[in-house]
Structure formats: structure tokens, C-alpha cells
Chain A
């Protein structure tokens, strides 16, 4: 039998590397399964199954013409669906499909390596898309899977266990370097090339509102942002977080104004100044939520509009943190700009006749705008209105339908109806969407605002007071101000949310989990150049800059390389010989002064050679050598063996060789 195995490309590629290739690529597909269109993920998974089946049956890949046709068809579908290939979602979808096609013609190890690279590339795209803490372990698993697949492709006989352990070991050894590089590898201050990434929608507020749209958010447990107060906390009923302000009403829903008025109304700020830091989640939108009403835009990347929204220059593709100051009470010192007044009293020329009539009658009875606001609120409070997440569908005259027929609505319905009534009575009013409330997380010392706390309220312009917040929902469901939506309408929420809130223990766990997420976002996801300099400062460098980072980076790299080389090389050294072998080695070294032991000589042969050289030492040396042979090769004496070896060792240590008396 030949001891070596000849290696060449076998006729039928073994199934195992292909299986791992499919696993690595399939893992990448699954990472995007909920982000790309379902048909794309489905096709990619189908292609995997197809390839595996054809390999199982030993069939070949489809003809090149068929593959080219399929590729062309898939590219056109993606183009038709996305209208572009330049975007994270479109690009990822295309990568899924093309890599899936490539899988069909995967034969040699080279093709399989390409597929694993596609798996890693999908992993990269997933990192660019979402950086949540909960997904990090998934990303780690995918990296592990891809590396293990490389091992199997390189050596097809590797078992799954061996491949995973090999890859896992190598990745664990790489982990310290990854951490060091992560901290010290100099970051760039800005982007030098941009792929549009906002084609992947996230749940959250938008620049339009139909009465029911906010209710859809109410069941989303996703965090919207977190707030850390650097001073006093505002009372619970003042925690209005200002988002998109909507001006245009089309009879059904609301839209933000396309106008970009620079006219900022000067105001006086009253009461306590609240200084705080907001950590926004990546929303793919441009609103930076701030406590109502922010004094100024926090930095150069965002600006404050005339209607007190903070709008970023770029969509929030990554988490952002900013600091600003807000006051919960303000007063305008100048009259309303005429353009704004016109915009915020506009209604569609027709529709909702009963609402208009109601507004006119209330207007006639009320002496002032303040009295009118009060009258409308009284109407809402006493009209038998019900606060609910599940209102009925409204007809074409939505406001009439709501005010006079269904009388069941969510915050959007009330804000919308209130503003329409105000405008019908000639009072400038607008809808403000945002969030109300927040959950205090004691573990991180911050306020967590979830999507479920999305809210809509109204602002009216009152002469002498300026824009004044009126929350019509508060008169229908006063508890909404103090408690979250989850406490208010538990029976209308999904079972999962209700269960999560059933036990205080679970609530606590959730809060801890959110604190971990906050830490992750703050210290890992948003770890940038400034944070790097902060680390250097903490290491005791006075005025750190990029050069220090470079040196720290090189130092870390060298140190790690040394440690890894030592660790890997360690296994090369033969194991330490056992006590008996060590004692025998010592004996041989001692006797070697008389005549060195040849490698082929056993202890007895060596003894014979020694006695031939120096008959005078024969009596002292031969018993020792024989004792060694007995201990090493004789029958095992389990109980006394350790002792015997100890005695032998001492005998070797005591052995003194007399000087040679004369030459032989």
C-alpha cells in the first residue's frame, strides 16, 4: 500500500466542501433575509437547494446560455424593482442573486473560495446596514462559518468539528489583535465615497401622517432614541419630543411643508433650561428629535427650522449623538409671519362641511382664541370620544366621520381634528408629530424613548403667546401624559409586548438589555477618531494626535504577533520527557564522559560498551543500566513504580565515577 495519498482533482468533487460553501453563502443570505425583497432571498435559497440536489445526483450545472439568460433576467428584475443598482439594498439583492447563480457553476476549490468571499461580503453589507448589539453574535457566527468553510475547502477531509475548532481557534487568537486595531487604527474624519443607504426603510415617523399611521408604530418596541439629562429632568407631562411638523392638510392626512422658510420667530424662553444629550438610532430620516422646544441646532451637521424642528444635513444612516438645551415654555415677542399665517390656516376648498360648521359655531360663541381652544377641548372631552389603537376606517370626509360618527381614535385623529377645527375657525394651527414620554432606565441613567411612544399633538398661534402646544389626546385620555401607551391600552397590544410587561422581572431584564444596547451604541458603534484620542488621553498621553495612534497601532501589532508566534510555535516542541527518561538522560550524560552512547545503543548494549572501555566502573554502572531497562521495558508495577523511579533517580544523582586509572 502506498503510504502517501496522491492528490489531484478528482473526477467527482467531494460533497463536503460544497456543503460548507453553501452553508457560508446561505448564512450570508439569511443575514439579509428580512431586508431584501422576499423573492430575492427565496431565489438565492432555491439556487442553493438546486446546487445541492444536482451535486447529490451527480449532475452538472445548467448550460452557459441558460445561466446567462437567468442572470440577465434577474438583473432586469432588480433594476425594475429598485430603478438603480447603486444602493445598499439594490446592491445586496444583486449580490445575493449573482452569487447564487455563481454557485450553480461552482466546481473547483477556487470557485468555492469565491462563494465564501461572497458570504463574507454579505456579512460586510449586513454590518453596514445594521449594527445592533443583538445582531453582533450572528455576525460573529457568520465569520466563523466562513472561516471553517475555507478550512474544509482547503482540506476536504476535515471533519465539521475539526474545521470549526480550527477556525474558532484562529479567530480567538485573532481577537486580541482585532480589539487592539479597533481601538488604535486611525479613523478617517469623513466619508470619501457614498453609496446611498437610505433605500432600506426603518420603522419610525415620517413626513406624512394619516390618522392611523402613528397607531402602527404603537406596537413597535424598537428604541427611537435615548436621552441623558445633564441637569434636572422635565416632569413627565412635559416630555414632548419634537419631530416632523406637518402643515398641509389634503382632507385625509397631513404632510410637511415643502417650503423652507428661514423666518425664525424670535421668542422668549421661560422656566427651567433642560440640558441633555440625545443618542439617536439610525432612522434613515433627517429629524433629530429634541425636547420641545430646542433653543438651537446642536452642531454644524443640523439646523433649526422656523417651526422648531432640528433637521440633519444627511439622513441618519448611523447612530448620532448630540447635545442641546430646551425650554418647555416659550413666548413669542413678534407677530406671526404673514406667509406662515397663510400656510397654517389653509384648508382644502371643500370637504368636511360639518366640522367647518362646528368650528364656525364655536368661534361665534368664544370670545377669544384661548376660549375657542378651551371650547374645542371641552367638546372633545364631553363628546363621548374614546382613545383606541383600533379605530374604524374613516370615509372621504375623514374629520366629519371621526367627529360625528366613529368618535374612536388615536392621537393622530385627535390632533388632526383639532387642527382642522382651529383652521376652520381662522386660528393658525399645525400638527406636530414626535414622541411623548420615555422609560427611565436606572442602569444607564437615561430616558429610553421607544417607537411605541410616537405621538401627535397640535400647536396653535395665540396672540401674545405665540405658538402654544395643545394636546387634544390629553383631554380624552389624560393618563397618556403620565404613562406609556403600553399601560394605557394593554388589551390592544400584541401578546409579546403584554407578556414582556406582565412581570417586573422581565421588565427589569428588558431595561438591562436596553442599557447594554445603549453602551454598545455609545462605545462601539460610535467609536470614532475623537473616542480614539480619548483612549490615548486616558492612557496618559497629554495631547494625543494621529501620530500617537499610529505608534500605538504598530506597537500593538508587534506585541500581538510575538505572542501569537510564541503560542503557535509552542506546540512544536516535543513534550517534556517523563521522570524516568530524564533520570536516564542524566545517567547517560554522566557516562558519556567515559564513552558517549550511540543512538542505536540500548541501555544494555551501552553497558557492555562501557565495561569494555572501563572495567573498573562496571560494578557501579551496570546495575543502574539494568535497573533502567527493567523499569522501562519490564512488566509494569503499578503501585511501586513512582517510588522505584524516585529511587533510581536518586541513585543516578549519587553516582560518582572515579577518574580513569590508566589508558586502555
Chain B
């Protein structure tokens, strides 16, 4: 997808520099004019801009030629055709504007991803009107468009690909929403200024064996039986629980949904230490730590992280994994994310 875009952009354009400069200035002006957006935002008339597309400009030139020919020959049919098509273009402009007007931008989030992959800005658009909105396009600056149709009174989530080349934070200041529907003669657009940060975990990489920590970390339960999971009790079902852990027999007896809770044998308790990897450079160390965190989580082990100036107690679960990876992502960077 990105290759195609690059190819399109490679088309020779003598005014590219001018257009880019204009784009930047226009962007700044719009930012000042519109201010920061608090989601959800309904796209109001005041913030929608509309201009003819390249095809629209060509269409206008054609109309001008037609008008000249019609006037020159005092040819009624040619003039009528010109006026009809001019009216058509004006109607199209209104339809294009309408297609975007009143769209709701309900949410914009960017879940964390690993470095050297492509993440996504998840943009939720809503349509409260009785007509469908066709082919709404969303794009991040300098990135390809993503388009979607919004049925009447519906929501639609768009995923805008967002490359994550290196660990840290990718910050998005604004998203461009546009549409050229229905005839591609005009494009209405707006910028939604909503800061979104995408956390980029270090690229999990490294082949060093996972350290085994024999010193029992604080808060970890000690059990003699190695390997076997131990049944702890029942608790109410929460979103994200595996169906395999649900106590279906109890549910069949009209009890509420209950989940059987186990605690794994605590023999696999590992503490990953930054200091242990002194032979590698910084990024390689972080990559190795990330690798271990990911593997340990996959194997259902309990693990902790010891970084210079930070210590994450041993635990497991998605939240813990995220905390560990976030700490690695932001390690040594200014303005870390809490």
C-alpha cells in the first residue's frame, strides 16, 4: 500500500515545494482558527473546507470552453448544456459538503505496538443522520488515505496505519477527514486536532537464555508442589476471561457466570535485570528484555523487571506485560509516559 502511494507521489510536480509550504501555512492557520478538539467532535459547518479536485478544475475548464463556444455561436443547446453542467457542479459541491458535515469523530486511540511494525490509529466515526455517508476518507499527515462508508445512524472504526520505526512514543497532532464523494469533482475536508500518542515497545529481539531467579521476590507465593496449578476459588466473570475457565456446571444450575481461579506453581519466577546485560548496547538490551517479557507472558510465568531507577515487582497478566514493555519503551527518553 505504501509503495503505491510513494509511486503516486513521485509524479512530477513543479509546484510541489510551493504546495508543501502552503499546506504547512494552511495547517497552522486552521489549528489557530479551530483550536484543540475535545472528542467527541461533531464536524460543524465552520470547520469544513472545500475545493475542487484536479478533476473538478478540469471540469471547470471544460465548462468555460463550452460557455465560450455556446456564446460565440449563440448556440442555445450548447449554452443550456453548459448551464446544466454548471448547476450540476454546484449541486455536487453541496452534496460533497453534506457528506462530511455533521460527521462525529467519537474516539481516536492508538494501541501500543512493537517497534519495526505498523501500528494503527483507531478512529471511530459516527453518523447520526438518516442518510449514509459514503467514502469518508481519513489520513494522517503524509500517510495514505483510508476510506469507509458510514451507514445511517451507525458507527464505523477506521484503522489508519501508523508506522512505528523505533521504540518510544509516536505523537499524532491531527487527523485529516475528507471526502470527494459523490462525483470526485470537489473534496471537502477538515483537520481534527486531537493529540494521540502511540507507545512503541522495543522490538523484541535477542537469543540469550531467560534468567532463572531463585531469590523469591516479595509478594510471590511459595508453593512446594512444582508445576501443578492450584485451585484458589471462584470469582465473578470479567471481560477477557477465557471461556475454558468458566464454571459451566455452576452456570447450568442458574448460578451467575463464575470463573475458576488458579494460581500457577511459582517455580517459574523470573526477574529480568537490565544490569545483567552489560555486554550489549542500550537498544539491544531493551530488545532482549522485551523478548523475555513477551516470552514469559506467553508461557504464563511470573516475571519482574529491574531497570536502573525502576523496579517492577513480579506478576503476570496483560496489564503487567504492558507496564513492563512501557517501561522499556520509555527507558531513557524525555517526557516519559506514566
Contacts and interface: CB of A to CB of B under 8 A. Distances in A.
Interface string B47-86: 0000000110011001001101111111111111101111
A136 B76 CA distance: 11
Interface residues of A, number: 67
A419 interface: no
A3 B76 contact: no
Contact of B161 (A6, A128, A151, A153): A6
Given A4-B159, A561-B90, A154 B83 contact: no
B147 A4 contact: yes
B52 to A, nearest CB: 12
Contact of A572 (B71, B87, B88, B98): B98
- The number of chain B residues touching the other chain, given as a range, is 35 or more
B72 A187 contact: no
A3 B156 contact: yes
B4 A131 contact: no
Interface in B77-121: 77-81, 83-88, 90-92, 94-95, 98, 101-102
A176 B80 CA distance: 11
Contacts of A182: 76, 79-80, 83
Contact of A571 (B1, B70, B98): B98
Contacts of A280: none
A352 to B, nearest CB: 47
B16 to A, nearest CB: 17
A2 interface: yes
Interface stretch (B167-175, B180-188, B206-214, B286-294): B180-188
A181 interface: yes
Interface in A1-32: 2-9
A143 interface: yes
Given A3-B148, A8-B5, A571 B73 contact: no
A110 B55 contact: yes
Given A8-B1, A174-B84, A568-B94, A124 B69 contact: yes
A483 interface: no
Contacts of A7: 137, 144-147
A5 B148 contact: yes
A495 interface: no
Contacts of A6: 1, 144, 146, 161
A124 B66 contact: yes
Interface in A110-162: 110, 113-114, 117, 120-121, 123-124, 127-128, 131, 136, 139, 143, 147, 150-151, 153-155
Contacts of A572: 98, 101-102, 129, 131
Contacts of B148: 3-5
Contacts of B88: 147, 170-171, 174
Nearest to A529: B74
B157 interface: yes
Contacts of A499: none
A154 B182 contact: yes
A569 B129 CA distance: 10
Nearest to A11: B4
B182 A155 contact: yes
Interface in A281-317: 317
A175 interface: yes
18 contacts: A4-B146, A6-B144, A7-B146, A124-B81, A128-B75, A131-B76, A151-B182, A154-B185, A155-B134, A155-B184, A181-B83, A191-B72, A191-B73, A524-B76, A565-B94, A569-B101, A571-B98, A574-B129
Interface of B: 1, 4-5, 7-8, 54-55, 58-59, 62, 65-66, 68-81, 83-88, 90-92, 94-95, 98, 101-102, 128-131, 134-135, 137-138, 144-148, 153, 156-161, 180-185
Q: Which 7 A-B pairs have the closest CB atoms?
A: A174-B87, A154-B184, A4-B158, A177-B87, A181-B83, A178-B84, A127-B77
Interface of A: 2-9, 109-110, 113-114, 117, 120-121, 123-124, 127-128, 131, 136, 139, 143, 147, 150-151, 153-155, 166-167, 170-171, 173-178, 181-182, 185, 187-188, 191-194, 197, 317-318, 524-528, 560-561, 564-565, 568-569, 571-575
Given A151-B183, A155-B184, 15 more contacts: A4-B147, A5-B146, A8-B144, A121-B65, A124-B81, A127-B81, A136-B77, A143-B81, A170-B92, A170-B95, A318-B73, A525-B76, A568-B91, A568-B94, A574-B153
